[in-house]
Amino acid sequence: MSDIWKRFPGVVANAGANLSVSRGSIHAVLGENGAGKSTLMNVLAGVYRPDEGEVRVEGVAHRFRTPADALAAGIGMVHQEFRLVPSFTVAENVVLGAAARILRRQAIEDEVADLAEQFGLATRPDRPVWQLSMGERQRVEILKALWRDAHILILDEPTAVLTPAEADELGVVLRAMADAGRSVIFISHKLHEVTGFCDEATVLRGGRTVAASVRVADTDAGELASLMVGSSPMTTERPPAHPAGPPLLEVSGLSALGDRGLPALQSVDLTVRSGEIVGIAGVAGNGQRELCQVVAGLRSATAGTVHLAGDDLTGASPRKLFQAGLGYIPEDRLGVGLAPRLSVVDNSILRTYEAHRRGPFIVAERAEAHCVDLVERFGVRTGPLDDPMAGLSGGNLQRLLVGRELSGRPRVVVAAQPTRGLDVQGVKAIQDLLVEARDEGAAVLLVSEDLDELLTLADRLVVMHDGEIVGEFDPTTAARSEIGEAMIGHGAGVGS
Amino acid sequence: MNEASLIGLCAATVSFGALLYLAALGEMVSEKAGILNLGVEGMMAMGAVTGFMTALEFGNPWLALAVAVMAGALTALLHGWFTVVLGAEQVVSGLSLTILGLGLAAYLGKNAVGRPPGAVLAPVDWPVLSDIRWLGPVLFQQSPMVYLSVLAGVVVWFVLSRTRTGLALRAAGESASTADAAGHSVVGLRLAAVAVGGGLAGASGAYLTLSLTPQWAEGITAGRGWIAVALVIFGAWKPGRVALGALLFGGTLALKTRLQTFGVDFSPILLSMLPYLLTIGVLVVISIRARNRPSPAPASLGIAYRREER
């Protein structure tokens, strides 16, 4: 791919990016969020048409108009959000788009099983996809590409949804594919995976290629990291510790069911004191999300209690919890935290509209003043305040959300993945706000998948596995390997 | 109540069932591809009037049926143009289509009101079978449309569950972006499904004016298009279950006009609510079961698809 340009309204996602991948290799494409990795890959896979630039596959120039064109040229992509039909079986998903005219269920299931075996992918072709774990779904995506005989397989942040054991298995599968003469493009921002499974790496920054086809053997994680972030490598220092005060959030014996009606939280005990950040580490899907939801009043507990500053608020409504001093930064910003089509002003007063009303009416001037105040204090960059929220960038959305939740000086803050998907500046801003809230005496519960973030911010670190708290660590002294072991349930045969 | 009137009730149940089934099957195909078309009533009216008028003009019932199917499909494609191509709100467009279809049919049929039919689809008299006691009159002396509706059901079932096209069509309704990424044309699949749906609704309308009540009057569809919409939900988007539901709902339609002759003192108005009450019941069951398993409704139903949107 050479000199690829792709512009979206207001954003230049690719500004002359280049990529060259050789046959039979695993090639990493590295870059921060917003560096243009996904856009470049979507151009290669025919999802987007580039504004300028050329794509050549085995020497032949192509202009892909649709994903089907790219597939026909042997390029298959496994997207970050899986493109699977949940109600279809594994086999149906695999053959979709490349099936015989008449389908014989048993026959396609057998063929898919054979293909899976050939590349060492464990799967169950007759199962509907909605019943499968994330790791299994990813294997279905890979099978889809293999079924179409893709010679170039693009994986967009494939390990984000996997347990460490599953990620290692994936590495083995990818190596088998590369050995069979296929090429794998592996998009990631996790350096240890790149140095672990990849042969070559291309680094993108700001939509441009800053390092093309570096041999991984000739470099190291540090060099790649500095290429990714450019001149200002991120150095996050631990904010100074702070003496903890009385307990503000006390969770005891808390159990709850997950979305599928299975136990997701099992007798969790947890205390967060005033002036401390308690970090929760764990592989996604081990009860962190449910814990936050129960504390925030969005999921009912089957057993146990939640106390806020000494008051029993188990099962209280989100509104009551907010009034009792709970600030909640949900994982799903646009779904739960903000209403994307409402204006910036409306979003800023969603929690506090009571304070801006006269009789049954919202007083527009007061609401706007509140919004302007939030925007200024929390450094949100916005267009006109009456425009829909959805026009803001991810970092600014999150600043407004965090600002809204913190502006009322909550006593307890529950922050679920508050920095996920943000750029470096955004991450720093949100982290600073959380530390500030802590320094002002709030009890902060921080759930994150980024262990570095937890090690930097948390005063105490607990690890969740399978709905239980399986360990507590002091982030200043704990070894990452120990925490990692705890995250996978002490390592022995879990997750495979 | 005597034997003859009971046989009459059963035969009418099958006739009305087939009428509802044709329309519901069409709606199901459309919904399976992700397009909710609430214009069934309008498309049926268009099929009914164009079929009747073609029969008046040319005297050929089969030509009339073909024209009715075309008219239903073209009316549906109007909905397809708005919702699939332009991405308009499906509920609004579908409701407009009902109003438009009913109005346009009334206008086109002004001069046909009260006229005797130009041609009818005469009942098929199956050799031997039609002489069987009970079964003969109920199943084997029906309009050809009844047998065509059974054939349509089998074809739809086969295409949806056993062919590549069906798999792609279902994928377009479950997850349009997945179907697109797999190389299928979501717009093409959805337009085709909407057109097939309209064609079947048109056929259902023609069954009314060419066979069941061979005349044209404004409002002859009498809300049966809406029953067809409800029937799709009642049948959980499965051709077989929709067929069972069609017989059940057809039974209520057949019973409605006969209650008094049977001497039963029960309001026919309450009876005509029954299909909707049953449908609400099914919706309740679906949502209770949805806690453990996905709903049988196509997941992308009612959602417009545009590619470069993230």
**Looking at residues B282-309, what average pLDDT do you find?**
80
Which of A48, A83, A112 has the most B C-beta neighbours within 10 Å, making it the best mutation to test the interface with B? A83
Return the SS3 of A149: coil
Q: Is residue B290 part of a domain?
A: no
Domain hosting B169: range is: 18-221+298-309
- With CA atoms as reference, the chain A residue closest to B298 would be A87
Of B170, B183, B291, the CB nearest to A67: B183
Report pLDDT digits (tens) over A152-208: 999 988 887 777 778 888 888 899 889 888 899 998 767 777 888 889 989 888 788
Of A79, A104, A261, the CB nearest to B291: A261
Return the SS3 of A461: strand
Of A97, A103, A261, the CB nearest to B162: A103
**Pairing, β A361-362 against β A357-358:** antiparallel
| Reported pTM | 0.73
Q: Is residue B264 part of a domain?
A: no
pLDDT at B63: 97
Return the SS3 of A52: strand
Distance of CA B108 to the CA centre of its chain: 22
Total structural domains in chain B?
Answer: 1
Token couple for B265 = 């003192």
Higher-pLDDT residue of B201 and B5 is: B201
The CB density around residue A62, as the number of other CB atoms within 10 Å, is 17
In chain B, residues with a C-beta closer than 8 Å to the C-beta of A7 are: none
| Contact flag B294-A87 (C-beta cutoff 8 Å) | yes
Q: Is residue B82 part of a domain?
A: yes
When pLDDT is cut at 50, 70 and 90, the band that residue A48 belongs to is confident
pLDDT at B310: 40
Distance, CA of A364 to CA of A361 (rounded, Å)? 9
Distances (CA, A) of A42 to A19, A31, A143, A194, B122: 13, 15, 19, 20, 58
Note whether B104 and B47 are within 8 A (CB): no
Token couple for A364 = 């527009």
For A123, counting Cβ atoms within 10 Å of its Cβ (0-12 exposed, 13-18 middle, 19+ buried), the class is buried
Q: Is residue B212 part of a domain?
A: yes
Q: How far is B89 from chain A (nearest CA, A)?
A: 16
Q: A93 CB contacts (<8 Å, ≥6 apart)? A: A84, A85, A129, A140, A144
| Contact flag B175-A102 (C-beta cutoff 8 Å) | no
Asked if the C-beta of B308 comes within 8 angstroms of chain A's C-beta atoms, the answer is yes
| Contact flag A101-B167 (C-beta cutoff 8 Å) | no
Residue environment code for A407-427, b if the CB has 16+ CB neighbours within 10 A, otherwise e? beebbbbbbbbbbbebbbebb
Q: In this model, does residue A227 exceed pLDDT 50?
A: yes
| Contact flag B167-A92 (C-beta cutoff 8 Å) | yes
**Pairing, β A52-57 against β A60-62:** antiparallel
Residue with tokens 């870059």, as numbered in its chain: A31
Q: In this model, does residue B249 exceed pLDDT 60?
A: yes
Note whether A14 and A39 are within 8 A (CB): yes
Closest C-alpha among A408, A407, A415, A442 to residue A431: A415
Share of chain A above pLDDT 90, in %: 30
* Cα angle value B39/B40/B41 (rounded, 5°): 90
Q: How confident is the prediction for chain A on average, in pLDDT? A: 85
pLDDT at A260: 67
Higher-pLDDT residue of A38 and A107 is: A107
- With CA atoms as reference, the chain B residue closest to A106 would be B162
pLDDT at B129: 87
pLDDT at A7: 78
Q: Is residue B235 part of a domain?
A: no
Q: Is residue B179 part of a domain?
A: yes
Q: In this model, does residue B1 exceed pLDDT 80?
A: no
What angle, rounded to 10 degrees, do the helices at A364-377 and A394-407 form? Answer: 110
Size of interface A-B (CB pairs under 8 A): 78
Asked if the C-beta of B163 comes within 8 angstroms of chain A's C-beta atoms, the answer is yes
Report pLDDT digits (tens) over B147-184: 999 999 999 999 999 999 999 999 999 999 889 888 88
Q: Is residue B229 part of a domain?
A: no
| Contact flag B168-A95 (C-beta cutoff 8 Å) | no
Q: A446 CB contacts (<8 Å, ≥6 apart)? A: A277, A278, A279, A280, A415, A418, A434, A453, A454, A457, A458
